[in-house]
Chains A and B, each alone.
Chain A
């Protein structure tokens, strides 16, 4: 854990971000909506989301959020290039990874933290692909998924924002992330949305 406490203020994300990776579980459908609504059309970073849902349900996520998000949304496909200014969702039943050449890859390897897609798998691969140029966000959830991945993100120079467990519908996932990895900022959803709104020029 860092000696300095994570910041709670509303401020723009680090400059030069190329990837924002978001992990959410129980209570995540609504929380995610708040953040996606806040993203400005000028956002240059790619946004990649892993949201745990019952099998078969998550394939309609892009349609679910399209009305309220200024960026194009889609399910990430195997070997598809990761483009800035686009929101990608992990599809059901496959892990979603990012390769060093900055394209997506899928995997059917066993579930991690009982989850496939797993937030840890996305964050770990993204950390290697983007190093300093990424921000990982852990939202509400009743699991420990994301904590190990967040450690890797921070080790490799990326930034970490974690939803304040007191603000989360389910506190255990952000709490596990804070305990294991720490964070650069601990924010409630309103603060997070206001900070993301400052992205771009």
Chain B
């Protein structure tokens, strides 16, 4: 029998420490089982979301959750919500969209055809917002908007373009502040507690299952909008994603980030120049 002091060393890890070990194992398991790679996501955010998932699925430990995820694909499909879903708004951060109208649209007008990429589009609020903006600026007809995410359910929601009616007041206020030229209600019809956005806006959308962690560039584009997605990545994965954007963008193509994101701490900092620093719009250098 071991002396008591040695036992102490073996067992002094707190449950809280073991949690991190279990989390690493779970991420490896998910990669092997489902080919989704979350190993370079922000650990602090993952911990919180896994605790929420454990509560949702009634699991006392991450290991119990792992058992269900590996053996029940339906559970993994639901888990994707915990890993990826960001709550957004249409025309979130109106100043960003005002600046797009002011500084980006005039340049886009010089191209005969335009491709835009909304990376990590989640349930599509940003995609529909951009489509409305392009429509009002007379550019939608010659635009193609690629909307990508790793969450197939979110992509389906994005494509449906139906949002709860109680969110519309906020969307409308944002739209107004973003320099909207009409009334947001011109673009949707209300039915069954939902606002259904105009199918005609959707003709130029291409939805695709694409991972910034494991996939490569699929097209040349004139603008990338990837807002509040990379805050959930660690530095390596942020660098990978920015590398993809740099590769995809045409020379002097545009990159839009979330209001609290920056390129300062990335090795790609010198690959882009600041076009609108406060609104976080960059241009490929």
Contacts and interface: CB of A to CB of B under 8 A. Distances in A.
Contacts of B49: 109
Contacts of B47: 124-125, 128
A110 B87 contact: yes
A63 to B, nearest CB: 17
Interface in A61-107: 77-81, 91, 94, 97-101, 103, 105-107
A91 B260 contact: yes
A37 B231 CA distance: 32
Contacts of A101: 234-235
B42 interface: yes
A77 B45 contact: no
Contact of B262 (A78, A99, A107): A78
B93 to A, nearest CB: 10
Interface string B250-283: 0000000000111011100000000000000000
A79 B86 contact: no
Interface range for A: 20 to 34
A155 interface: yes
A108 interface: yes
Given A128-B16, A155-B16, A97 B45 contact: yes
A125 B44 contact: yes
A185 interface: no
B44 A155 contact: no
A110 B82 CA distance: 12
Contact of A79 (B16, B20, B265): B265
Contact of B266 (A79, A105, A125): A79
A18 interface: no
B45 A107 contact: yes
A121 interface: yes
Contact of A103 (B48, B228, B235): B235
Interface of B: 14-17, 20, 42-45, 47-49, 86-87, 228, 231-232, 234-235, 238, 260-262, 264-266
20 contacts: A77-B262, A77-B264, A78-B262, A79-B262, A79-B266, A91-B260, A94-B231, A94-B260, A99-B43, A99-B44, A105-B232, A106-B231, A107-B42, A108-B86, A109-B49, A124-B44, A128-B16, A155-B14, A155-B15, A155-B16
Given A78-B260, A107-B232, 4 more contacts: A94-B231, A106-B260, A128-B16, A128-B20
